[in-house]
Amino acid sequence: MKDYIQVTTTIDTNARAERLAQALLEKRLAASVQVVPCWSAYRWQGRIERGREFRCAIKTRADLWPELVALIRSLHPYEVPEIFATAILDVTQAYGAWLDEELAEAHDGR
């Protein structure tokens, strides 16, 4: 099995989340992006902040991480955006084949 990951980031507006998802899909850095509204509470510059955000769950491969992070940073309005990856331990054969197909074209020489 290839090394699949789910990358998570949050962003401030639904419109920005949609633009990010579109860019990741167009460049085949993501096979899927799920966007879910949420609220966040966090410490920033000595203060506790709260606000509405949109969590993006991005399905991809580990080898695409550097390019994916660069694209997120180029489109993200935050000074320090949340960007982290979680290893996907296993997937069904059909889902793995679909991931490979969707991520392959621009990155595997196909």
Q: What is the DSSP string of the chain?
A: ---EEEEEEEES-HHHHHHHHHHHHHTTS-SEEEEEEEEEEEEETTEEEEEEEEEEEEEEEGGGHHHHHHHHHHH--SSS--EEEEE-----HHHHHHHHHHHHTTTS--
**For the chain, which residues make up each domain, given as ranges?**
4-104
The mean pLDDT values, 10 residues at a time, for the chain of 110 residues are 93 98 97 98 97 98 96 97 97 94 69
Give the pLDDT confidence score for residue 110 in this predicted structure: 44
Give the pLDDT confidence score for residue 105 in this predicted structure: 65
Domain 4-104: which topology? Alpha-Beta Plaits (3.30.70)
Give the pLDDT confidence score for residue 106 in this predicted structure: 60
